[in-house]
Structure 1
């Protein structure tokens, strides 16, 4: 009898141990789920690059990670995505740079109107030490920036014909949640209204706002051109994104996972930045072909009028951003000066 009981206990113990170890092995094999949320359509540069990151991450780390991409504000909209990241309800987001001014005022350098002459100048600044330092500037707030993603230069659109700042006085402009842009609109004589991206089309359609500013790819994907009369190519600002992660989550990842994700992100970043201009050029052509909104290229004199309006904006935000950081950003838009020729020496 005693022998039977002993054998039974041994069998139960063996079953319990093997079950426990089997469960542990199974748990270790479960992939790490990474939720990536964004607010734009899948066919935009950011939307496509997010899907490319998923593809690359799951290829480099087969069975170890599962990336779930939620586009078009499906999971969280503009107002909630950063809060969701800090709560670890999502692990990765890629919002526009304007969204981070509540965590570091220095990031407002990207919102200063006409600070970059083109997308290349912005990219060069982002690659510089000052640009890279901004990626790391929010870790004490729970955020780590991993990369910059480009979309392109922004332009103004409105429900009326316009060419110069005086033409838009009193118009209600949808802007991102940016104090700099609110000040910019005031300097132009317009009324800036902060509004989530997902709400813009209906607001334009119903007249809640009269105008907006965005890249061609975003205007086309959201059909803004269907409810606007004129698009004026101002190139007044850059619309770029920062890929950010929850700092605690990222720092807690195993080294091999972090390495694989970093490699995937680096490749997705190259992909995003390559297609950014292509998508904007394509969207511009589609908008022009639709015949729904008139695309206007400004004369040099007209563009100068827009640029003259920004001085009060720079004066207002110089202290928070830092004069040195502003100069660092501006220098990438300055043409290289030709070297002076040495006077010929008499022989």
Structure 2
């Protein structure tokens, strides 16, 4: 359907409406964080059916909740389809229910994004966003400008942040891994040992080993990260530095790791990957965004947001287009690659040394 051209006055009015929306875009994120902190989705879920506002507030655990304040927050979240709201057929009272979106806010759900929402809206991770114009003017790293050190050093010195960050990454990993394991079933065939580079607390490689018990999993990350990892049969935890050396294995897995780093750093990582795998049979499995700046796919718009997250939080990292991936892979020693789309923001990039 062709777009209807607006008149000058209508276009200016629409432009004004857009700017107001963008200006207060943070309000939606903060309302979402509030819902997670109050456990709204969990309260509704505990009843097993849609509930009234008074039922929600009576379960919050406060002696004097402000029901009007919560009603206004819920009104926005209903508008955004995070929750549903329908009148009771007999009393007419508004009944709030879960949607596909709010099911991702359930704390005990296997596919909960609640820890990621709390982390991304924490002052620690919000502060670098205020330094983006400085980065444009001066260069440098936004996180370092905000906190005096890069994110990995900050995590090393701050156990509370380290826990917050690791829990966020772990919950996001579970969502992505469901998509990977359901659509990339044959991709792990022929791999006897697999190193998850930047594997955090081992959530990802544990899921892979559960689904493919023939694989010996190695969770590889910085020593202070793997020190908090839980033990699981078939998985070993190794502390180290991917810029120095990577443990040898049949295959290497990297999920949301490469986007944290500059092209130069990615090439160093890939060269170490090549040294760690068999030249003829080895492969590297990269799970990362393949940016489509003009794409109309369900996650293409989110890809541009993720790219700016890299500006705010990463050490020179970025999301890459296929052209940019090809350049990095070739210079890192992987002339052949294959991109596989999965039902997630990321794609799977299989990279081969020959």
Question: Normalising to structure 2: TM-score of the pair?
Answer: 0.29
Higher relative CO (Cα under 8 Å, sequence separation at least 6) belongs to: 1
Which structure carries more strand by proportion?
A: 1
Question: Normalising to structure 1: TM-score of the pair?
Answer: 0.29
Question: Which structure: larger Rg?
Answer: 1
